[in-house]
Amino acid sequence: MASDTTEGIWDEERGEPGFAFIQPRFQEEKFPTPQVVGYILSLVLTFASFILVEDRALPASALLVTILGLAVIQAALQLGIFMHLRESRGPAWQVIPLFLGFLIAGGLIGMSIWIMMFKWGGY
């Protein structure tokens, strides 16, 4: 059903399949299952990281990496479920600049932290 829709647009706009990861895909559920599941998962992830920190379940640096990982999973959930990342008339071009943005953002923050580690006395 969904693939018919997208192929129709594709033929009309581009006439060729192109890259798979920017193929448009629409959310057309009869019941808002993705929204409910996404909401529950986001609550679970938030409380998981809060409880991990509350209990000091891990050494400090491992704990930071774990909760940042949980935050990244939650961001991916929001993008995929709530933001309908791949919805578009033609190819979902927004995916490419978005991932380029992730690369720049990650580089900016990661490199800033990395360079400050060389300061005397540590970061």
Partner 1 sequence: MNIPVNPPKVESPHLPLEFSVKQESIKITGFWMFLVSDMLIFASLFSVFAVYRSHIVFGPTPNQIFHYAPTLLETLLLLTSSFTVGMAIYAMRNDRQKAMMTWLVVTLMMGAAFVTTEIHEFVGDVSHGITWHVSSFLSGFFILVGTHGAHVSFGIVWAVTLLFQLSRRGLTPVTTRKLYTFSLYWHFLDIVWVFIFTFVYLYGKIT
Binding flag, residue 8, partner 1 (CB under 8 A): yes
Three-state DSSP state, 27 = coil
91, 7 in Cβ contact below 8 A? no
Torsion of CA 52, 57, 60, 61, to 10 degrees: -80
- Give whichever of 16 and 112 is closer to partner 1, judged by the CB atom: 112
Min CB(106)–partner 1 separation in Å = 8
81, 38 in Cβ contact below 8 A? yes
Q: Please identify which residue in 25, 63, 86, 118 interacts with partner 1, judged by CB under 8 A.
A: 63
Give the list of residues 6+ apart from residue 42 with CB closer than 8 angstroms, or none: 74, 77, 78
Binding flag, residue 97, partner 1 (CB under 8 A): yes
Give the E-state strand segments of the chain in sequence order.
Answer: none
Binding flag, residue 3, partner 1 (CB under 8 A): no
The residues binding partner 1 (CB under 8 A) are 5, 8-9, 12, 26-28, 32, 35-36, 38-39, 42-43, 46, 49-50, 53-54, 56, 60, 63-64, 67-68, 70-71, 74-75, 78-79, 81-84, 87-89, 93-94, 97-98, 100-102, 104-105, 108-109, 112-113, 116, 123
